């Protein structure tokens, strides 16, 4: 790929013991998402729209082991609330919201709870953007 076409290039921040990070190049029908925490922990979400499968690479869990993502959840990984929220948002963007159980699935099973975080919702049919806290969103289910 010609360098003039590169729009994002990220350096690995993890120690060598975390393994070799994946080298992922864009291809048709693919969604890619990148996350970096305030601690420098890095994650890459990759979704293949043709197969409907998602996988997650997490540097602190070992770059060389991709984790299966189903309905926006990587059940084999212990993730912080902001990581789960990011992964759920990536899933929604990759799938157009189809096949996703709910936003609350992003927060199940963790030790941390996200009571007052803001979630932006977009209704495609009305072009309406709403801002709610997770507490308000949970009460509506």
Distances (CA, A) of 18 to 46, 60, 61, 77: 19, 6, 7, 15
Given pLDDT bands bounded at 50, 70 and 90, which one contains residue 5? confident
Note the pLDDT of residue 2: 66
Q: Average pLDDT in the 37-53 region?
A: 95
In a domain, 6, yes or no: no
Query: Which is it for strands 30-36 and 67-69: parallel, antiparallel or unpaired?
Result: unpaired
pLDDT at site 1: 53
pLDDT at 48: 96
73 within a domain of the structure (yes/no): yes
In a domain, 34, yes or no: yes
Whether 35 is covered by a domain: the verdict is: yes
Prediction pTM value? 0.69
The answer as to whether 38 is a domain residue is: yes
Q: How many domains does the chain have?
A: 1
Residue 133 has pLDDT above 80, yes or no: no
Report d(CA 51, CA 41) in Å as an integer: 28
Host domain of residue 62: 25-101
For residue 69, the 8-state DSSP code is: E
Q: What is the DSSP letter of 98?
A: T
Cα distance between residue 139 and residue 131, in whole Å:
14
**Which of 23-32's residues contact partners 24+ apart within 8 Å by CB, and which partners?**
25/1, 31/90, 31/93, 31/94
* Residue 44 in domain: yes
pLDDT tens-digit readout, 72-108: 999 999 999 999 999 999 999 999 976 555 444 444 4
On whether residue 13 sits in a domain, the answer given is no
Q: Within a domain: residue 86?
A: yes
Residue 118 has pLDDT above 70, yes or no: no
């Amino acid at each position: 790929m010609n360098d003039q076409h590169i729009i994002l290039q990220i350096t690995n921040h993890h120690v060598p013991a975390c393994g070799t990070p994946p080298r992922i190049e864009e291809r048709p029908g693919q969604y890619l998402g990148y996350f970096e925490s305030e601690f420098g922990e890095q994650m890459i979400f990759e979704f293949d729209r043709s197969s409907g499968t998602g996988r997650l690479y997490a540097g602190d869990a070992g770059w060389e082991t991709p984790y299966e993502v189903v309905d926006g959840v990587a059940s084999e990984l212990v993730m912080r609330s902001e990581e789960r929220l990011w992964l759920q948002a990536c899933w929604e963007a990759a799938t157009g919201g189809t096949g996703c159980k709910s936003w609350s699935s992003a927060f199940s099973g963790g030790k941390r709870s996200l009571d007052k975080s803001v979630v932006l919702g977009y209704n495609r049919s009305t072009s309406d953007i709403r801002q709610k806290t997770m507490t308000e969103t949970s009460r509506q289910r």
